[in-house]
Structure 1
Amino acid sequence: MPVLLSTDLPFPVFRRGKVRDVYDLGKHLLIVATDRISAFDCVMPEGIPDKGSILTAVASYWFAATEDLVPNHFRGNPAWPAALEPYREQLAGRAVVVEKTRPLPIECVVRGYLAGSGWKEYQAGGSVCGVKLPAGLKLADRLPEPIFTPSTKAEEGHDENISFGRMVEIVGADLAARLRDLSLALYRRGSELAAQRGILLADTKFEFGLSEAGELILIDEALTSDSSRYWLADSWVPGKNPPSLDKQFLRDYLETLPGWNKQPPAPHLPPEIVEGIRARYLDMASRFGIKI
């Protein structure tokens, strides 16, 4: 199956992320979800067939499911510019035109369970991003309540977990409080809808931007398998990692490789790993009735 690893469209580049290529269309942005996949902040050499289309469809579902909580960059349903017509076939299913914003330099992470870097921090000091947690928690334990644990947003290199106090220094107290409260509300909405489908939303991250008028808007993606940790509820047992419908399958494979220090260049992925990732992303989408 063909994959799209890069784009080269005749429009100014707004930014290129690990997965998305974003072009400047004037008042709007064109976001193209490629089939690239990253882990440990490194982009893998191989892409995942259909991944860009899956991410776009899933993000669109969640933007619609949360628009009563916070506006998102799909506001006004911007028209497909005529200049994009020659590229419609290439971009079909993986590109969206959205409102332009000024992205905030913070990733808004919410954790409902103890996993990933949060588990490692807890083991080291009993807290996550400055949030003190009860003693004796196990890997994958449900937290007493969801916690907000922001991080810096790195285009290259590793994101860095930070305290809420450090976030206040970066964006200001009022905006930091709004971001925290909105992120927790979005997480709760996602958790409720996922639970109805037999899935646990262990953690997720959101990104926000400011519109030209200064309004706070949800951007980039929301509650996808790239930005979230989804577990099968009927297989969840505290003390070990449950089967997941996200990138953990890739991370687990990479952890078995001797000699790779989680720095570029990333190792090549065998076909069974590529297909395993694709199957998990499709499974998650299908559980929400999302057609690809």
Structure 2
Amino acid sequence: MELVHRGKVRDVYADGPDELILVASDRVSVYDVVLPTPIPDKGKLLTALSTWWFEQLADVPNHVISATDVPAEWAGRAVRCRKVNIVQVECIARGYLAGLGWESYSKDGVISGVKIPAGLVEGDKLPEPVFTPTTKTAPEDGHDEPMTFAEVVDQVGADLAERLRSLTLDIYGRAAALAEQRGVILADTKFEFGLTPDGEVLLADEVLTSDSSRYWRVEDWKPGGRQVAYDKQYVRDWARDLGWWDKTPPGPEVPPEVAEETSRRYRAMYERITGLTWDTNGGS
């Protein structure tokens, strides 16, 4: 197999002309910088949670072929999938004010061109989920930037833009409702979509993992400040509190206790959402 792309977290291999193997590593990135310290079991946790969500959303066309028909050395952390043309838009749904969404709202009451009602505080639930897309920018070229819906239309056309927005909000709503039944708030999440040669839109990459989503426990939710994160935000907060202000490589080494706590939180969220137990050998 040929290595065709090495991402911040995943390595992508071509297996013939029409199939890819996505291998999730234990690497962690914040602010588009890969930190030098791996997070124990992270790749397997991401793959297991993503696979579980794909199964819950089986009626949504997606790129997954198999999570078991992969080379033995990557068992548990790889997925075989259809090769698609990834749409160059990060499709983000927000149901709560957090992260860059909160930062944008606190400046001018707008997120990606969407006007949000005044008077909300950090961590608040939005009146309804909103589609807040960003550019899909390679790390060496800069950072993802907010896009208005009109800008998405200009980039991909009106029909596909409407389809992306509809799918993003529909999938988010379904996932948020299921998560809430498990005592989990899905504050926001990011989806990627791909196009087949005949123009079919497929849900692609990872879905609803603790890398691509903000997850809070219902019992911890307290609007008015930073929430208790069971996702990558825990590492972001650690890096921010460390004083790594320039957010440029090389990133700081992650202390062992922070790496292990990150892994623990990923495991805890996997178990709460799926109802499955993660064993000490790195599997469910």
TM-score, normalised to structure 1, is 0.90
- Measure how far apart 1:79 and its partner are: 8.1
Give CA deviations for 1:121-148 in whole Å, capped at 9, x if unaligned: 1111111000001111100000000000
Residue 228 (structure 1) aligned to one of 188, 208, 213: 213
Structure 1: which amino acid aligns with 2:54?
Answer: F
For 1:74-108, what per-residue CA distance to the aligned partner results, in whole angstroms no more than 9, with x for missing partners? Answer: 14x49837xx4xxx1x2110011111111111110
Report the secondary structure of 2:203's partner residue. Answer: strand
The 1-side partners of 2:22 and 2:68 are apart by 14
Q: Shift of the alpha carbon at 1:274? A: 0.2
Which residue of the partner structure matches residue 278 of structure 1? 263
Counterpart in the other structure of 1:52: 43
Matching residue within 139, 151, 168 for 2:122: 139
Report what 1:7 is aligned to: none
Letter in 1 for 2:166: D
**Which of 85, 89, 92 is matched with 1:106 structurally?**
89
Alignment partner for residue 93 of structure 1, among 70, 76, 85? 76
Q: Where does residue 177 of structure 2 map in the other structure?
A: 192
Q: Does 1:43 find its partner at 2:34?
A: yes
- Percent of residue pairs bearing the same amino acid type: 51
Amino acid at match of 1:38: S
Letter matched to residue 42 of structure 2: K
SS in 2 for 1:256: helix
Task: Find the counterpart in structure 1 of residue 232 from structure 2.
Answer: 247
Report the CA distance shift for 1:60/1:259 in structure 2 as closer, same or farther (over 3 A): closer
Q: Which residue of 1 aligns with 2:5?
A: 15
Amino acid corresponding to residue 183 of structure 2 in structure 1: G
Unaligned runs of 5+ in 2: none
1:265-284 CA-partner distances (Å, limit 9, x unpaired): 11111011101100000001
Q: How big is each residue's C-alpha offset from its partner over 1:218-246, in whole Å with a ceiling of 9 and x where there is no partner?
A: 01011000000001111111102221210
Cα 1:241–1:289 shift into 2, 3 Å: same
SS in 2 for 1:277: helix
Tell me if 1:29 matches 2:28: no
Shift of 1:259: 4.8
Deviation string for 1:13-34 (max 9, x for gaps)? 2322111001111220011001
Greater mean alpha carbon deviation, residues 215-224 or residues 152-161: 152-161
**1:79–1:118 distance in 2 versus 1, CA, 3 Å:** closer
Structure 1: how far apart are the matches of 2:243 and 2:231? Answer: 23
Alignment of 1:154 onto 2:144: no
Deviations 1:175-231 (A, max 9, x none): 000000000011011101110111100000000001122211001011000000001
8 Å CA contact retained: 1:78, 1:99: no
| Cα shift at 1:153 | 1.1
Query: Match of 1:218?
Result: 203
AA in 1 matched with 2:4? F
Secondary structure of the residue that 1:203 maps to in structure 2? strand
| 2:26 aligned partner, one-letter code | D
**C-alpha distance 155-259 of structure 1, shift in aligned 2 (>3 A):** closer
Question: In structure 1, which of residues 237, 258, 265 is the aligned counterpart of residue 243 of structure 2?
Answer: 258
Q: Distance in 2 between matches of 1:282 and 1:263?
A: 29
CA RMSD of aligned residues (A): 1.4
Residue 63 of structure 1 pairs with residue 54 of structure 2: yes
Give the alignment partner of residue 289 of structure 1, picking from 266, 275, 281.
Answer: 275
* Partners of 2:67 and 2:79 within 8 A in 1: no
Whole-Å separation in 2 of the counterparts to 1:259 and 1:17: 22
Q: How many residues end up aligned between the 2 structures?
A: 274
**Which residue of the partner structure matches residue 128 of structure 1?**
111
- CA distance 1:182–1:259, shift in 2 (3 Å): closer
